[in-house]
Structure 1
Amino acid sequence: MAEHNLDLGLVVEGLSAWYGEAKALDGVCLRVGAGEVVTLVGRNGAGKTTLLRALMGLHRQQQGVVRFDGVDLTRLPVHRRARAGLGWVPDDRGIYATLTVEENLLLAPITGARGWSMERIYDTFGVLAQRRAALGTTLSGGEQQMLAIARVLRTGARVLLLDEPTEGLAPVIVQRIGEIIRLVADDGVAVLLVEQNVRFASTVAHRHYLLAQGRVVEHLANTEFKERREELFAYLGM
């Protein structure tokens, strides 16, 4: 497995979260180093999306520590976490339906010096260049996913939080998303990926955390993850 600088990147310690009195996360600890792709794998209801929301500061009932590049983000509001380098692509993609592709891209504020230029975005996401004048309502699921990822890269985020980016997409689009994730990691961005598609996860990630009932129950290098893929298929009901 490749070595990554775990002093840089995202560090989560003892993160717990509640919905009322129901505990959704229970003392989660994880790391994602700069230039590393890490997946969160688990059944529906395991707490994966809640974890991403908590990292962004969108979940109010939480405790624990979130740091990025040594800076404590735990008490920061959402906009300051974004300015610190965290970028979130939600499972609903969050595309503005009445804006064009280009307007969606230009609307996002630039929060970091490493933000992708429009030229680089259009070079990398050729379909967005072709559809730059199209309204969000007219985009396919795959085009929306590309736009959602590109919008975060334009901000200069150094942590990319991806929630089920391949769900419901055609295999050719899934393959392209994998290529983009690897490209982003090669740029030194830390990628935390929530993914139900175990086969896809094994093609892009360096390490994997298995979540069950809000807890990390296993932490696997990608080699072991591949060796146990059939077992994980059965566990996830796939």
Structure 2
Amino acid sequence: MTETPARTSTRTSLEVAGVSAWYGEARVLSDVGIEVGQGEVVTLVGRNGAGKTTLLRCIMGLHKQVQGSTTFDGIELHKRSPNQRAWLGIGWVPDDRGIYASLSVAENLMLPPVVHDDGWSLERIYEFFPALHERRDFPGTKLSGGEQQMLAMARVLRMGARLLLLDEPSEGLAPVIVQSIGEIIREIKAQGVAVLLVEQNVKFAATVADRHYLLAQGRVVEHLDNADFQAREGELLTYLGM
């Protein structure tokens, strides 16, 4: 395991310590520990089945067979429901984007409550995501894959989420759309929002993240700063089979 990268003085937003999780009797996470600072982008990198999405689900309270400690802004989350975690300021963007088919783009945006004063206004969202403004009356599922990803991210920005859990935002998208998603993540970071990103696209991850945790068989096996991550890009691509 590599030496732990130096951290900045950024205040810790999320701390996961000793988290293990199961599906039935199958153990999928083993004693996982990670941290994400305020205004920091951190990625979880690993092969399919490494436990990345399960860890996000544990943080959001969507996975029940879990042990260990998860704190957000110093608040222990163990006994809090997913709804309560959302009210604390944790935003969840699943890999299927979670767009409501029967609602328009505007209705999808307005559905969640605003949980923090820093939530983006609808005007700001439409300025930053002009495609959503153009299609605001369209049913959510009539959007392209990239537009659905933007809608899912814009929805939690309107909520005022202070921690964003992003699951494979670049998956299946054209390179020009992936570039736009990267710009959005960097803008979110500039606002002081913490981002925990599950990503298999190593090249994309290196353009947005400060640090990276490599998961294998449910364990954190390496913790790399972005400079080391970029230097080992070829090795990581081979490891991930990409």
Normalized against structure 2, the TM-score is what?
Answer: 0.96
1:179 aligns with 2:183: yes
1:234 aligns with 2:238: yes
When residues 4 and 87 of structure 1 are mapped into structure 2, their CA distance, relative to the original with a 3 A threshold, is farther
Given that 1:5 and 1:34 are in contact with CA atoms closer than 8 Å, whether structure 2 keeps it comes out as no
Matched residue pairs, number?
A: 238
- Residue 64 of structure 1 aligns to which amino acid in structure 2? G
Given that 1:16 and 1:24 are in contact with CA atoms closer than 8 Å, whether structure 2 keeps it comes out as yes
% identical equivalent positions? 66
- Counterpart-to-counterpart distance in 2, 1:203 and 1:59: 30
Query: Which residue of structure 1 aligns with residue 118 of structure 2?
Result: 114
- Residue 132 of structure 2 aligns to which amino acid in structure 1? L
Q: 1:221 aligns with which of 221, 225, 233?
A: 225
Gaps spanning 5+ residues in structure 1: where? Answer: none
Given that 1:6 and 1:32 are in contact with CA atoms closer than 8 Å, whether structure 2 keeps it comes out as no
Shift of 1:4: 4.2
- Superposed CA offset, 1:178-203 (max 9, x none): 00000001100000000000000000
Shift of 1:8: 3.1
Q: 2:150 aligns with which of 146, 152, 155?
A: 146
Query: Which residue of structure 1 aligns with residue 52 of structure 2?
Result: 48
Runs of 4 or more, structure 1, over 6 Å off, are none
- Counterpart-to-counterpart distance in 2, 1:74 and 1:6: 24
Given that 2:141 and 2:148 are in contact with CA atoms closer than 8 Å, whether structure 1 keeps it comes out as no
- Counterpart-to-counterpart distance in 2, 1:212 and 1:40: 10
Given that 2:36 and 2:42 are in contact with CA atoms closer than 8 Å, whether structure 1 keeps it comes out as yes
Query: Which residue of structure 2 aligns with residue 71 of structure 1?
Result: 75
CA RMSD across the alignment:
1.2
- Counterpart-to-counterpart distance in 2, 1:78 and 1:182: 26
After TM superposition, the structure 1 stretch with the greater mean CA deviation from structure 2, 55-64 or 70-79, is: 70-79
- Residue 219 of structure 1 aligns to which amino acid in structure 2? H
Gaps spanning 5+ residues in structure 2: where? Answer: none
- Residue 180 of structure 1 aligns to which amino acid in structure 2? I
Shift of 1:97: 0.8
